[in-house]
């Protein structure tokens, strides 16, 4: 591989697949036997924690799981930690899905939360109701925001929702808070039709991809709090003092980042050495 | 679902995932295609079931509850299906026009606020609030938004001050991109780590995970070297 | 009412038929070079127009596709257009097929048009992506032009295209994607550059007019921000209140 | 065309003129639209069947996979309807196939981003240099370990993401919304009819 340019060229133009292999190793390794590195808490997460603490017992939260299973994999720590807070506070949850894979989530999530459910005797039907997949598109969100009961008649198992705490909900404005976990599915619609129209405070668990966009919304006051990706979740776990998947995966997280940085450094050294010797060029989108 | 089935689901899940990861090897191989087609079949199945359930819960139950106007949703929906037949596809234009119209109205009536007016409004702030850092933040935001906007003007030659601002805008934008790229990477990495976490806890999964990883990796190499991959793969 | 004002303005400006000047986007030259390169190497060109319905990006993407098809038809280069990927793409596909056929007819070689080169890779995003990647791996195109509204599959495709060392020209349609694609591809049309390019190429009055209108809006936005900031800092929040209405 | 405009107005206007009956109507229209859209899945599935069918009939390369796909699809759907969504093959396949793979498919992007970043973050031009530095700082901050040792990094990183990054997003949302509005008006004024399946030929 190393022709003219020698080692430098090698450093500048190694086979991509090495990156893949290394990434696999640095992620799987610490997960199988954790190291337990310390972490820092970001201001975003502190704010999120504070916002959730404003909830009172008996408040009704619209809990929208707008994520595929993949999104859940990233948001897991945040989801679990947030729901632990909800359960602890005795908040009532109205759970909705924004993606058809959502039906796989409750089993998984409530299995993780079992101990907490038992400890606070938190029951489906009384304390939380799963209304299922109700957000196929923007129209559905808007309709539901305007008239809840005309669009939701049964929960995800087909039982009627008459005579539950949802009777107090006429439109989106009757929720005390929207807690959203998003891979960017129905979230924009919810901001448009629920937050903007009825002024419900909305806290957001966002995957890293959507974080930049939601930072703008946060700054514009459309969101009240933002929990960023796995890392935010881990920090929240730290704040509520109940370690979970997040903190466990932070080692892998750190190493993953560091390995990319190392690759970047190596690449740059190689790039310099190589291009200085042979006027060779390598290409990317940046002019 | 009994114990064994659950166990089987987990193991199959782990294996099929690593079969999918062999995509990264960059060469065609049947394992990967098997995983891909399984996903396609199953996922499509799920989406059918869920969509029809949604239609049932919302429309049919609605009509039964005396919401007669919802009958239109069924009619329109069925008309939509004429799209499949080339000769009668024009039938589907009515519901299409209807849905496009409503969709347009929904997005326009709010988007203009959330992503235009409110965003502008949020940029108009008191620069000096007494906190130097705050001042820095707000100043930067104001400057960046304006300069970057000028970078995206097309119907006039960029010259004089505009040229200057757009250049600045471009640079600022690349700084932004740096940050955004990092955040995006964090997201994807988080997803990957999260998944790996779920296949390594509880610890009894670990052997299956490692085994699947090794098997799939070696299989990918063999398929590539022997050329079997090319022969057996779907495309 | 501000909104009504905006609408009125739009319609007014759309009304006037005069073709405004539109700046040429650098990436367009890149497209020409790339197609030329693959012509010399006798390799095909892959050009896709996104997986969305008829949205802002797809309209632009189609114009760019038309342009690429034109060059390919003239230089007798094989053009592969993967279509599908979304539940709405069965509509956009019809338009695209027409577009390409017209391009070949215009170049005087209708017989060279082959619809088999515009495969419909199912309506599922993640059936589309492997199909697309498969095409890249098999055909090893000299140039990959990825326009329109591509979402999370974009990185996937761009990296693969780069892997089979074809020149990759992409267009990002949302922020995080742009940032990522800027790294993954050789040339990128950043956001608004794409519609501008589309309008520049298609010369279609409606598109050009809308670019013009958008520029006017941007000026309004810039003006409002500047004035607003000045006013706010001399202690009057009139603009904020005006916008808040 | 008229249908388009009428349905547009019926949903658009009530948002600004709150008046009981009108609100009710628009609400119903939204529900109807939602359900109507849900029907499009059938079309997607149909096109999938047609494609697979062609493969199988013509015995093209990999046609076996398509048979497998259709069988799986059938099992999934039938089980989902007959046994319900919380039992049987449906649930099993959901757990064994759909959920893991949907995570993998997106998770793979981490690798692509890594390789792209490793390739692109080279200080070869002012822009690239800026990208490199900014990206590097933020990456450094995002690795949780760093935050524990150098709390100072957070300031720098959040400065980049919350000002520059944020402005990019904001600028972008502004310009896109403008574009969407203009396109919308174009559709409403009938300047953009292609989206109804009319193609250049017919107009």
Three-state secondary structure of C136-183: HHHHCCCEEEEEEECCCHHHHHHHHHHHCCCEEEEEECCHHHHHHHHH
pLDDT at D84: 75
Domain total of chain B = 1
Mean pLDDT of chain A: 84
Residue D142 contacts A where some CB pair is shorter than 8 Å: yes
Interacting residues of A169 by C-beta distance below 8 A, sequence separation 6+: A60, A94, A148, A149, A175
For residue A284, the chain C residue with the least C-alpha distance is: C186
CA atoms within 13 A on the CB side of A180: 32
Q: Return the higher-pLDDT residue of A119 and C27.
A: A119
Burial status of residue D156 (CB atoms within 10 A of its CB: 0-12, 13-18, 19 or more): middle
Instruction: Verify whether the Cβ–Cβ distance C215 to B153 is below 8 Å.
Output: yes
Closest CA relative to residue A77, chosen from A257, A205, A177: A205
Range of the domain at B173: 124-198
Alpha helices of B90-160 — where are they, by DSSP H? 93-111, 118-123, 132-151
Distance from CA of B154 to the nearest CA of C (A): 5
In a domain, B135, yes or no: yes
Distance from CA of B187 to the nearest CA of D (A): 8
pLDDT at C134: 81
Chains contacting C (3 or more CB pairs within 8 Å): A, B, D
Q: Are A230 and B190 in contact (CB under 8 A)?
A: yes
Distance from CA of D202 to the nearest CA of A (A): 30
Task: Tell which B residues from 180 to 199 touch D, by Cβ distance under 8 Å.
Answer: 180-186, 188-189, 191-192, 194-195, 198
pLDDT at A177: 92
pLDDT at A81: 93
* Intra-chain end-to-end CA distance of chain B, in Å: 36
- pLDDT at residue C58 tops 70: yes
Distance from CA of B146 to the nearest CA of D (A): 8
Number of H helices, E strands in chain C: 10, 5
Instruction: Verify whether the Cβ–Cβ distance A140 to D158 is below 8 Å.
Output: no
C144-200, pLDDT tens digit by residue?
A: 999 888 888 888 888 888 888 888 898 887 778 888 888 888 888 887 888 888 888
pLDDT at C24: 82
The token duo for A99 is 């993606």
Closest CA relative to residue C189, chosen from A280, D115, B154: B154
In a domain, B149, yes or no: yes
Q: Are D104 and A270 in contact (CB under 8 A)?
A: no
> Which three-class secondary structure string do you get for chain D?
CHHHHHHHHHHHHHHCCCCHHHHHHHHHHHHHHHHHHHCHHHHHHHHHHHHHHHHHHCCCCCHHHHHHHHHHHHHHHHHHHHCCCCCHHHHHHHHHHHHHHHHHHHHHHHHHHHHHHHHHCCCCCHHHHHHHHHHHHHHHHHCHHHHHHCCHHHHHHHHHHHHHHHHHHHHHHHHHHHHHHHHHHHHHCCCCCHHHCCCCCCC
Residue B195 contacts A where some CB pair is shorter than 8 Å: yes
The token duo for C15 is 């009304």
Chains contacting B (3 or more CB pairs within 8 Å): A, C, D
**A206: β partners:** A182, A228
pLDDT at C1: 59
CA atoms within 13 A on the CB side of A3: 4
> Which DSSP state fits B232?
H
Instruction: Verify whether the Cβ–Cβ distance C20 to B83 is below 8 Å.
Output: no
Give every residue of chain D whose pLDDT is below 50, as ranges. Answer: 195-203
> Which DSSP state fits C1?
-
Distance from CA of B132 to the nearest CA of A (A): 18
Interacting residues of D150 by C-beta distance below 8 A, sequence separation 6+: none
Residue D77: C-alpha distances to residues A132, B50, C127, D72 (Å): 18, 10, 18, 9
Task: Tell which D residues from 19 to 58 touch B, by Cβ distance under 8 Å.
Answer: 28-48
CA atoms within 13 A on the CB side of B235: 22
- B-to-C residue pairs, Cβ atoms closer than 8 angstroms: 114
CB-closest option in D73, D128, D197 to B41: D73
pLDDT in tens, chain A (287 residues): 334 556 777 777 777 788 888 888 988 888 888 877 788 888 889 999 999 999 988 899 999 998 888 888 889 999 999 999 999 998 999 999 888 778 778 888 888 888 889 999 988 888 899 988 887 777 888 888 888 888 888 888 888 888 888 888 888 889 999 999 988 767 888 888 888 888 899 999 998 888 888 888 888 888 999 998 888 999 999 999 888 888 888 888 889 999 999 988 888 888 777 777 665 555 444 44
Q: What's the whole-number mean pLDDT along residues B138-154?
A: 87
C207-219, pLDDT tens digit by residue?
A: 787 888 888 888 8
DSSP H or E stretch at residue A130: strand A128-133
Query: In b/e form, how buried is each residue of B80-92, taking b as 16+ CB within 10 angstroms?
Result: bbbbeeeeebebb
Closest CA relative to residue A135, chosen from D34, C16, B113: D34
CA C93, CA D197: separation in Å to the nearest integer? Answer: 9
In a domain, B139, yes or no: yes
Which chain B residues touch C2 with a CB distance below 8 Å? 117
C30-42, pLDDT tens digit by residue?
A: 898 899 999 999 9
DSSP H or E stretch at residue B200: helix B161-200
Task: Tell which A residues from 228 to 267 touch B, by Cβ distance under 8 Å.
Answer: 228-231, 245, 248-249, 252-253, 256-257, 260
Q: Are A161 and A129 in contact (CB under 8 A)?
A: yes
**A133: β partners:** A97
Tokens 């924009």 belong to residue: A188
Which chain D residues touch B14 with a CB distance below 8 Å? 100
CB-closest option in A153, A191, A212 to B65: A153
CATH architecture of C26-202: 3-Layer(aba) Sandwich (3.40)
Give the sheet arrangement for strand C45-50, strand by strand. Answer: C79-80, C45-50, C143-149, C167-172, C187-190
For residue A211, the chain C residue with the least C-alpha distance is: C176
- pTM to 2 decimal places: 0.86
pLDDT at A2: 39
Burial status of residue C139 (CB atoms within 10 A of its CB: 0-12, 13-18, 19 or more): middle
CB-closest option in D183, D185, D201 to C7: D185
- pLDDT at residue C116 tops 60: yes
CB-closest option in D100, D139, D169 to A215: D169
CB-closest option in B118, B187, B197 to A31: B197
Burial status of residue C12 (CB atoms within 10 A of its CB: 0-12, 13-18, 19 or more): exposed
Q: Are D79 and D89 in contact (CB under 8 A)?
A: yes
B17-70, pLDDT tens digit by residue?
A: 999 898 888 777 888 888 888 888 888 888 888 888 888 888 888 888 877 888
**A225: β partners:** A203
Which chain A residues touch C26 with a CB distance below 8 Å? 287
CB-closest option in B42, B119, B180 to D72: B42
Residue B149 contacts D where some CB pair is shorter than 8 Å: yes
With H, G, I as helix, E, B as strand and everything else as coil, classify residue A126.
coil
Which chain A residues touch D142 with a CB distance below 8 Å? 231, 257
Q: Return the higher-pLDDT residue of C158 and C3.
A: C158
Instruction: Verify whether the Cβ–Cβ distance C126 to B40 is below 8 Å.
Output: yes
Longest dimension (CA), chain B: 74
CA D133, CA B176: separation in Å to the nearest integer? Answer: 11
Distance from CA of C230 to the nearest CA of D (A): 19
In a domain, B159, yes or no: yes
DSSP, residue by residue, A72-84: HHHHHHHHHHHHH
In a domain, B160, yes or no: yes
Which chain D residues touch B114 with a CB distance below 8 Å? 177
Distance from CA of D16 to the nearest CA of A (A): 11
CA atoms within 13 A on the CB side of C111: 0
Distance from CA of B181 to the nearest CA of C (A): 5
CB-closest option in B121, B158, B235 to C244: B121
């Amino acid at each position: 591989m190393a022709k003219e340019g020698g080692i430098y060229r090698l450093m500048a133009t190694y086979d991509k697949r090495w990156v893949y292999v290394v990434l696999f190793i640095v992620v799987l390794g610490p997960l199988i036997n954790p190291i337990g590195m310390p972490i820092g808490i970001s201001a975003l997460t502190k704010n999120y924690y504070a916002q959730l603490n404003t909830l009172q017992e008996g408040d009704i939260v619209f809990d929208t799981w707008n994520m595929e299973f993949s999104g859940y994999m990233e948001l897991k720590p945040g989801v679990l930690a947030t729901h632990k807070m909800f359960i602890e506070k005795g908040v009532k949850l109205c759970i909705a899905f924004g993606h058809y894979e959502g039906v796989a989530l409750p089993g998984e999530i409530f299995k993780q939360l079992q101990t907490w459910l038992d400890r606070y005797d938190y029951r489906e039907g009384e304390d939380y109701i799963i209304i299922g997949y109700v957000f196929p598109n923007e129209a559905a969100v808007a309709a539901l925001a305007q008239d809840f009961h005309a669009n939701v008649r049964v929960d995800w198992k087909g039982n009627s929702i008459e005579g539950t705490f949802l009777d107090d909900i006429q439109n989106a404005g009757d929720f005390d808070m929207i807690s959203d976990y998003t891979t960017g599915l129905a979230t924009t619609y919810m901001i448009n039709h629920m937050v903007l129209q009825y002024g419900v405070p909305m806290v957001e668990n966002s995957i890293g991809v959507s974080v930049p966009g939601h930072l703008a919304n946060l700054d514009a006051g459309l969101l009240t709090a933002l929990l960023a990706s796995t890392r935010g979740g881990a920090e929240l776990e730290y704040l509520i003092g109940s370690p979970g998947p997040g903190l466990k995966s932070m080692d892998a997280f750190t190493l993953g980042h560091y390995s990319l940085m190392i690759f970047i450094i190596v690449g740059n050294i190689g790039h310099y050495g190589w291009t200085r010797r042979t006027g060779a060029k390598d290409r990317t989108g940046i002019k | 679902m009994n114990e064994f089935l659950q166990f089987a689901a987990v193991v199959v899940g782990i294996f099929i995932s690593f079969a999918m990861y062999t995509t990264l090897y960059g060469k065609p191989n049947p394992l990967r295609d098997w995983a891909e087609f399984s996903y396609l079949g199953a996922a499509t199945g799920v989406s059918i079931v869920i969509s029809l359930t949604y239609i049932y819960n919302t429309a049919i139950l609605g009509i039964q509850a005396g919401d007669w106007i919802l009958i239109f949703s069924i009619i329109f929906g069925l008309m939509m299906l004429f799209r499949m037949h080339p000769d009668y596809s024009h039938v589907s234009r009515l519901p299409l026009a209807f849905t496009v119209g409503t969709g347009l109205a929904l997005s326009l009536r709010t988007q203009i606020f959330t992503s235009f007016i409110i965003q502008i409004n949020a940029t108009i702030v008191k620069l000096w609030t007494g906190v130097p850092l705050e001042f820095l933040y707000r100043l930067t935001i104001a400057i960046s938004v304006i300069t970057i906007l000028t970078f995206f003007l097309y119907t006039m030659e960029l010259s004089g001050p505009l040229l200057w601002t757009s250049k600045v805008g471009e640079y600022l934008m690349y700084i932004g991109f740096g940050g955004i790229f990092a955040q995006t990477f964090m997201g994807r990495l988080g997803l990957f780590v999260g998944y790996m976490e779920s296949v390594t806890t509880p610890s009894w999964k670990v052997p299956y995970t490692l085994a699947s990883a090794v098997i799939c990796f070696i299989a990918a190499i063999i398929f590539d070297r022997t050329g079997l991959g090319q022969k057996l793969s779907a495309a | 009412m501000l909104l009504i004002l905006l609408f009125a303005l739009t319609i007014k400006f759309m009304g006037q038929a005069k073709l405004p000047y539109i700046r040429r986007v650098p990436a367009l030259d890149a497209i020409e070079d790339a197609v030329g390169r693959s012509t010399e190497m006798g390799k095909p060109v892959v050009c896709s127009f996104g997986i969305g319905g008829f949205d802002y990006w797809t309209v632009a993407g189609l114009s760019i596709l038309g342009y690429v098809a034109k060059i390919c038809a003239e230089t007798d280069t094989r053009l592969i257009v993967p279509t599908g990927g979304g539940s709405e793409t069965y509509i956009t596909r019809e338009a695209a097929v027409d577009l390409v056929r017209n391009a070949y007819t215009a170049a005087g070689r209708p017989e060279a048009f082959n619809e088999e080169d515009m495969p419909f890779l199912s309506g599922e995003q993640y059936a589309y992506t492997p199909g697309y990647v498969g095409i890249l791996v098999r055909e090893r195109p000299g140039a990959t032009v990825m326009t329109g509204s591509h979402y999370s599959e974009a990185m996937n495709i761009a990296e693969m295209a780069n892997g089979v060392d074809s020149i990759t020209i992409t267009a990002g349609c949302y922020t995080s994607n742009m940032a990522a694609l800027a790294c993954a591809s050789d040339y990128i049309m950043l956001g608004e550059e794409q519609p501008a390019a589309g309008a520049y190429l298609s010369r279609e009055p409606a598109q050009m007019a809308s670019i013009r209108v958008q520029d006017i809006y941007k000026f309004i936005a810039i003006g409002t921000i500047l004035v607003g900031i000045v006013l706010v800092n001399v202690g009057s929040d009139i603009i904020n209140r005006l916008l808040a209405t | 065309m008229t249908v388009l405009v009428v349905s547009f107005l019926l949903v658009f206007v009530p948002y600004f003129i709150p008046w009981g009956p009108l609100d009710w109507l628009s609400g119903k229209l939204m529900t109807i639209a939602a359900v109507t859209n849900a029907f499009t899945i059938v079309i997607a599935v149909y096109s999938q069947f047609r494609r697979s069918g062609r493969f199988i009939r013509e015995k093209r390369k990999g046609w076996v996979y398509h048979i497998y796909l259709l069988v799986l699809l059938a099992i999934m759907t039938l089980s989902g309807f007959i046994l319900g969504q919380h039992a049987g093959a449906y649930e099993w396949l959901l757990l064994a196939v759909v959920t893991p793979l949907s995570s993998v498919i997106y998770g793979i992007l981490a690798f692509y981003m890594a390789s792209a970043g490793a390739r692109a973050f080279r200080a070869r031009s002012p822009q690239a240099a800026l990208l490199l530095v900014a990206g590097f700082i933020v990456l450094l901050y995002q690795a949780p370990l760093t935050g524990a040792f150098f709390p100072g990094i957070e300031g720098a990183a959040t400065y980049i993401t919350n000002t520059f990054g944020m402005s990019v997003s904001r600028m972008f949302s502004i310009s896109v919304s403008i574009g969407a509005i203009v396109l919308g008006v174009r559709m409403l004024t009938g300047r953009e009819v292609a989206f109804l399946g009319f193609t250049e030929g017919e107009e």
